[in-house]
A and B are shown apart, each in its own frame.
Chain A
Amino acid sequence: MKTKSLILAAAVTATFSVNAAARDYVSIVGSSTVYPFATVVAEQFGKTSEYKTPKIESTGSGGGLKLFCAGVGVQHPDITNSSRRIKKSEFDQCQANGVKDVVEVKVGYDGIAVANAKSAPRFELSRKDIFLALAKQVPGDKEGELIDNPYTTWKQVNASLPDIKIEVLGPPPTSGTRDAFAELAMEGGCKKIEWIAAMKKTDKKAYKAVCHTVREDGAYIEAGENDNLIVQKLVANPNALGVFGFSFLEENGDKVQGSLIDGKEPAFESIADGSYPVSRPLFFYVKKAHVDSVPGIRGYVAEFTSEKAWGDEGYLSDRGLIPMPKEERAKFAKDAADMSPLSM
């Protein structure tokens, strides 16, 4: 019994002593879209420097920023990845919790593909088709009228599309990919309808609700966060379309094909030059207060912003990250090296 209580006492003291101790590895949280790129950088950094390999948690963009903005100190993460820009409200939250200086680094672009199985003909969609096929409510015959989405086949949406059932597998609302898809593809198509576009000025909330709400009658199937699973389901069902990140399309080019959207194919070049409409920038944010207390932050950021990582021929482009143009890279690399804080 004595030894047991000794062990317990030791465990309790050890627990409280770590509280004060410093952390000797970089702690990173955030977006699951940036995760596959950040992990490659972290591994390279860990192998080629004297520092430990940074720890990376995939918490989603919103979850990551929440943890990041919770405060300054070793129990809070040093860097958060994000597949969208930090919101004003999140920035204010950071300020309120004492996280004063936040350094923003844009790392590149990611495309979202709408793909189907290779065995079926390739789809040619416009963003308006996507909106009409997937929105919960679509414009009726009269202007200003919204009706529940009546379309069941692609042909009803647009006569040039094949006569097959609308069946789209995509990520659930918790995913950043879903947010970006709603914002870029659906809202992009929604804006093409004039009276809805006019609504943006008068009633922004209603406009967003119309453009971003996905139908719930079974035509859009939430397939979980696992993009590999969506690819497998597409192969098994040639009539279905799937929504996932560009890196999965590139990795599975022998099984699935990306649909043309507004006449553009999801490809490295078209995403890099911005002509493919469904692409978004990726970021990470650094807590400046930690830079000098946690070893390795500077080195990790330098590795991420080096040409051999995010350059046109860098190892991140092999993984499906679309690099920024050269001038933009130079600007963000400089900002990162100087640790110039973001102001909003």
Chain B
Amino acid sequence: MSNNESMNRVRAGLARRYATERRFRMYGVLAILMSLFFLVLLFTTIIGNGYTAFLQTHIKLDITFDQALLDPSGKGDLAEISRTGDFNGVVKAALREAFPEVTKRGDRKSLYNLASGGAGFELRDMLMADPSLMGKTVSVWLTADDEIDMFMKGHIDRDVPEDDRRVKDLTIEWVDRLLAEDRLEKQFNTTFFTAGDSRDAEQSGIWGAAVGSFYTLIVTLLLSFPIGVAAAIYLEEFAPTNRFTDFIEVNINNLAAVPSIVFGLLGLAVFISFFGMPRSAPLVGGLVLTLMTLPTIIIASRAALKSVPPSIREAALGIGASKMQMVFHHVLPLAMPGMLTGAIIGMAQALGESAPLLMIGMVAFIVDIPGGVFDPSTVLPVQIYLWADSPERAFVERTSAAIMVLLAFLVVMNALAVMLRKRFEKRW
């Protein structure tokens, strides 16, 4: 074959080869565009549904802290007032005063529904913080009912026939009047970030679930990081290579692929039934998630140890360090950023997990903010699941808002992992 001939053959195939390459690049770009499209779709639906939950409709009422209703005995004992005082009666009196023309019993009932069922408790907290309010009249912004809130946010359409609408014509008339008097407005929803769960959408918040997630993750981190790193160091640096360690290695890799619900069943059988630990406690949740994240951390830690070049080890041993000194003084510090990255990714995985917690009773209605690892509590993904299943319409936007909060936490954790790697990683 002459030189010329082979050049001709190359040239003849050249166009086809370029086309193949262009096609391949196009596939890649398409794949990326498609994932971006779904990501954008996900974010727009979640943010579109949920951003309104960060604002909550409030209603301004002239509240009289009437001693006859709150402290009929007149003793001024705060503990007793807090328990027996008719704070809802105070809210009702204020509403009657604002709309004196409403006298029919049925209409009065819908009038009382303008304010949240929990408005009385807001007043109670106010009075407990400042007992000198007793007997005084003050203008107070109270949380409005969730249906008024839905109406204000346009989720209830006033053009629908009255019978099919949760908010009736009379109520709309009141709402319009309150709006005209600047007594109704949307304010930043602090309740959402400070309260526990509630069946009144306007009184519910994610703080309880966030604290539950925090305790669960603390238990997970305290257990899985030391155990995972210790296992990785032993397997990588000290363990002999034989059938037994191979067997362990295969099993660890297998465990990483086990569906998480299986760990929940294991937790139920071992921690709750056998050890008798309390149901719904972050301690048990943390233990179960530890089992789930351990393989991830062990595998990441071993990879980090492997990436430390042997020359470091040899140099340390060469100047007389013991094997243990070599590991703890030289190899471990260099491998630490990789291990931390693995741990953070494992934690992010654990934060988003709800299936194994179902088995150990953490899918529950819990109002009180948990105060420790033994208190009953729930976690963020479970809270999302529970709200998504609630009949009240106002929970739809809260579900999306809770998803946004969870996503924010995940983004922060993953960013932290990337930052640690960028900052401390050494390239050889």
A252 to B390, CA, bound (A): 12
Q: How far is B396's CA from A38's CA once the two chains are assembled, in angstroms?
A: 21
**Segment with Cβ contacts to A, from B90-98, B360-368, B402-410:** B360-368
**Residue in B83, B163, B199, B376 whose CB lies within 8 Å of A25:** B376
Query: Chain B at the A interface: mostly helix, strand, loop or mixed?
Result: loop
A35–B365 CA distance with the chains assembled, in angstroms = 9
Complex contacts, B351 vs chain A, CB 8 Å: none
**Which B residues lie within 8 Å of A118 (CB)?**
164
Partner of B390, one of A18, A36, A42, A50: A36
Stretch at the interface among A137-145, A220-228, A296-304, A329-337: A220-228
Judged by a CB distance under 8 angstroms, whether B177 is at the interface is: no
Q: Which of B372-428 contact A (CB under 8 A)?
A: 374, 376, 386, 388-393, 396
Q: Are B364 and A56 in contact (CB under 8 A)?
A: yes
Q: Bound state CA distance, A42 and B366, in angstroms?
A: 9
Which of the residues B226, B278, B361 comes within 8 Å of A57, measured between beta carbons?
Answer: B361
Once bound together, how far apart are the Cα atoms of A36 and B365, in whole Å? Answer: 10
User: Is B121 among interface residues, defined by CB-CB distance under 8 A?
Assistant: yes
A4 partner residues in chain B, CB cutoff 8 A: 226
Q: Are B226 and A58 in contact (CB under 8 A)?
A: no
Count chain B CB atoms within 10 A of each CB in A16, A27, A53, A254 and give the residue with the most.
Answer: A254
Q: Judge whether A40 and B278 touch: CB under 8 Å.
A: no
* Segment at the interface with A among B18-26, B70-78, B179-187, B269-277: B269-277
Residues of the B chain whose Cβ atoms lie less than 8 Å from the Cβ of A49: 83
Do B83 and A47 touch (CB < 8 A)? no
The residues of A that contact B361 with a CB separation of less than 8 Å are 29, 57
Q: Report the Cα distance A16→B283, complex, angstroms.
A: 12
B198 is an interface residue with CB less than 8 A from chain A:
yes
Query: Which residue of chain B is the closest to A19 with respect to CB atoms?
Result: B276
Closest chain B CB from A112 CB (angstroms)? 14
A200 proximal to B (CB < 8 A)? no
A281 contacts the other chain (CB 8 A): no
Given known A-B contacts A75-B278, A254-B156, A46 and B272 have beta carbons under 8 A apart? no
- Residues 232 to 281 of chain B near chain A (Cβ within 8 Å): 272, 275-280
Chain A residues contacting B365 (CB-CB under 8 Å) are 35, 38-39, 42, 55-58
Interface: A238 (CB within 8 A): no
CB distance from A304 to the nearest CB of B (A): 14
User: Hey, which chain B residues are within 8 Å of A74, CB to CB?
Assistant: 278
Q: Verify A253–B166 contact, CB threshold 8 A.
A: yes
Residue pair B388, A228 in contact (C-beta under 8 Å): yes
Chain A nearest CB from B106 CB (Å) reads 10
A47 touching B279 in the complex, CB below 8 Å, given contacts A118-B164, A251-B391 = no
From known contacts A248-B391, A254-B166, infer whether A42 and B367 are also in contact, taking CB-CB under 8 Å. Answer: yes
Cβ-based interface call for A320 (8 A): yes
Chain A residue nearest to B156 in the complex (CB):
A254
CA–CA, A77 and B291, complex, Å: 26
Once bound together, how far apart are the Cα atoms of A322 and B379, in whole Å?
A: 32
Q: Which chain B residues lie closer than 8 Å to A27 at the CB level?
A: 279-280, 376
CB of B367 within 8 A of CB of A46, answer yes
Kindly state the separation between the CA atoms of A251 and B277 in the bound complex, as whole angstroms. 39
Enumerate 7 A-B pairs (CB-CB under 8 Å) in ascending A order: A7-B222, A36-B199, A225-B389, A227-B391, A251-B392, A253-B164, A254-B166
For the A-B complex with A43-B198, A254-B165 known, give 18 more contacts whose Cβ atoms are closer than 8 Å: A15-B275, A23-B278, A39-B365, A40-B199, A46-B367, A52-B368, A53-B367, A55-B280, A55-B365, A57-B361, A57-B364, A75-B272, A75-B276, A75-B278, A228-B389, A248-B391, A253-B166, A254-B164
Query: Which residues of B come within 8 Å of A, CB atoms?
Result: 83, 117-118, 121, 156-157, 160, 163-166, 198-200, 222, 226, 272, 275-280, 283, 361, 363-368, 374, 376, 386, 388-393, 396
